[in-house]
Amino acid sequence: MHDTTISTKDFQMLAGIVYQETGISLSDNKVDLVKARIAKRMRTTRIPSLKEYINVIENDASEFCCFIDAMTTNHTYFFRENKHIEYMVENLPQGPMHRIWSAACSSGEEPYSMAIQLAEAGRKFEIHASDISDTMLETASKGIYPKDRTRSVPVPLVRRYFQQGQNKWDGYFKVKKELREKISFFKYNLISDPPRDEYDVIFCRNVMIYFDHETRQHVVNKLYQSLRPGGMFAIGQSESLVGVEHPFKYLRPSIYCK
């Protein structure tokens, strides 16, 4: 039996750890979410009480990473909010090679969605895709997904860019090797890691909605430094830069340029 009772003090302490490590602000209405995800980790590790689990994540770097993974994992799917990608493909200037960064790639559906549509448009590109979660990056690198994740992808593109699983993998699709090779996945902390080399496009979608104002300010201006002049920056449709001081030029809802 596992005791997953979370006191207000415990929740505030755990939320503080998540905020310090990831910039994600867990409000009081996330208590049940935190409780459910910690309970799963406690079952996996066979730790009987929350007090003991907290002691483990404070002293065991491996379980600390698993805890952060559990707190930051979000469901996504291929071709999500696809108008952003369509706009990118249509408006990228002609050039020998485009460098694109999916800066919060989760389990990889976003960068693969980009790659499919850039390949269809005959563009030459390299995509860098990062996330703070080791578990998500492992999933992304393998490129194996339940069939329902491809529900928004046109059938001809599914046939062209995915392999259908057989036997124990029935009901799954795997991104074909030639597409996987165009994407490099790596761990990156949007809060603490330094700006990266300049890109033509940066997508940072559906993560800043979890940040407070100060963190959004910090992340947006760091990503600005990583864009080439004229480069495009996309955030999620439910996100906004209203109230954030930044030098971006507005192009259309959720899309900006340097």
Residue 252 inside a domain? The answer is yes
Same domain, 223 and 104: yes
Q: What is the pLDDT of residues 187-210, one digit of tens each?
A: 999 999 999 989 999 999 999 888
What pLDDT score does 192 carry? 94
The span from the CA of 56 to the CA of 47, in Å, is 9
Q: What total number of domains does the chain contain? A: 2
Residue 77 inside a domain? The answer is no
Same domain, 242 and 214: yes
What pLDDT score does 2 carry? 59
Same domain, 180 and 53: no
Which of 43, 72, 101 is where one domain is finished? 72
Residue 112 inside a domain? The answer is yes
* Helix count and strand count (H, E) for the chain: 10, 10
Same domain, 150 and 48: no
Which of 49, 72, 95 is where one domain is finished? 72
What percent of the chain clears pLDDT 90, i.e. is strictly above it?
64
pTM assigned to the model: 0.83
Same domain, 123 and 155: yes
Same domain, 45 and 100: no
Look up the CATH number of the domain holding residue 97.
3.40.50.150
Look up the CATH number of the domain holding residue 68.
1.10.155.10
Residue 50 inside a domain? The answer is yes
Residue 25 inside a domain? The answer is yes
Same domain, 162 and 136: yes
What pLDDT score does 6 carry? 83
Distance of CA 162 to the CA centre of its chain: 21
Same domain, 32 and 64: yes
Q: What is the pLDDT of residues 102-119, one digit of tens each?
A: 999 999 999 999 999 999
Task: Return the structure tokens found at 112.
Answer: 């693969």
Q: What does pLDDT average to over the chain?
A: 92
| CA proximity to 75, closest of 176, 2, 148, 163 | 148
Same domain, 60 and 133: no
The span from the CA of 11 to the CA of 34, in Å, is 8
Residue 138 inside a domain? The answer is yes
Same domain, 119 and 48: no
Which of 72, 93, 110 is where one domain is finished? 72
Grade residue 37 by pLDDT with cuts at 50, 70 and 90. Answer: confident
Section 16-25 average pLDDT: 87
Residue 139 inside a domain? The answer is yes
Section 21-36 average pLDDT: 85
What pLDDT score does 4 carry? 67
Q: Which residues have a Cβ under 8 Å from the Cβ of 128 and sit 6 or more positions away?
A: 99, 100, 101, 102, 183, 184, 186, 196, 199
Residue 16 inside a domain? The answer is yes
Range of the domain at 24: 8-72
What pLDDT score does 140 carry? 96
Section 176-192 average pLDDT: 96
Same domain, 58 and 179: no
Same domain, 34 and 122: no
